[in-house]
Amino acid sequence: MNRIDEKFSELQSTGKKGLFPFLVAGQPDMETTTELIKQLERVGAAGIELGFPFTDPVADGPVIQSAFTEALKKSITVEKIFSGLADARAEISIPIVAMVSASIVYKIGVDKFLDKAKSAGFDGFIIPDLSLEEAPTIAEKVAQRDLRLAMLIAPTSPYERQRKIAQTATGFLYYMSVAGITGERDKLPEDLADNVAHLKEISGVPVIVGFGIKGPEQVKLVCSIADGAIVGSAIVRRITQAVEEEKPREQIIQIVSNFVSELISKSGIS
């Protein structure tokens, strides 16, 4: 069974919810990223969403955009990301999901990219700029390799479009709690619970929520209605600050793992 399916099956059987931290691959270098993945599994992360740096991200806010830019300046490449995860995979068992632009996938070639990603140890993909028309073809190729294609759903998407997206998604649905771009927010939308409930009704896969989640109380709220939460900008910002303060790798890893551990323990989802 695919590791994404295994993780959600495990969570559901124990009545727990999952925290899925988002990391920018290569921030500040690939060695730090792979060590972070290992440590975040140790403190209880259910899985990792690993962002492939890209020059023109679709929905990422300034914090993640800046981290992408810095990673690209340091010549992070797709091959380096694959190599880094492959080196770490023997030591980790949690699912790793690639957040990657469709242009990267198509430039390398869909089949070649998927084969390399599977060999490296990825379990699934989120392709934010993949059109709904192209998604079924990619989903079929992904399924042939026992991988998963999670799909993004925005709160502004019409119900009929949501239904089509839900029918295409495998692994899980990623619900964007707010319209617009990623970034920490003080308050989540009041209609979040209703929207997630609707998606759970029309989908046969777990629903996790991202965008705007920055602290334990929001993780607790999201996980009371969904199957898990994704936290990105709050983590990436901490890494950026630590790098600017010229902290060594060990301290960067400790800062992030302490924060993720706090999100899990104080939200009560552990």
Rounded to a whole number, what is the distance in angstroms from the first to the last CA of the chain?
24
Is the Cβ–Cβ distance between 188 and 218 less than 8 Å? yes
How far apart (Å, rounded) are the C-alpha atoms in residues 235 and 19? 12
| Catalytically annotated residue among 5, 35, 49, 123 | 49
| Catalytically annotated residue among 35, 60, 123, 227 | 60
Joined together, the tokens standing for residue 138 give: 């990619």
DSSP string, 218-268: HHHHHHHHSSEEEE-HHHHHHHHHHHHTT--HHHHHHHHHHHHHHHHHHHT
CA 110 to centroid of chain Cα atoms: 20
Establish whether 191 is a catalytic residue: no
Establish whether 134 is a catalytic residue: no
Beta bridge partners of 210: 176
Q: Which of 200, 222, 225 is nearest to 210 (CA)?
A: 222
Beta bridge partners of 231: 21
Question: Does an H or E element contain 175, and which?
Answer: strand 173-176
Cβ-Cβ contacts under 8 Å for 155 (sequence gap 6 or more): 175, 176, 177, 178, 179, 189, 191, 195
Is the Cβ–Cβ distance between 207 and 196 less than 8 Å? yes
Cβ-Cβ contacts under 8 Å for 88 (sequence gap 6 or more): 34, 35, 37, 38, 121
Catalytic positions: 49, 60
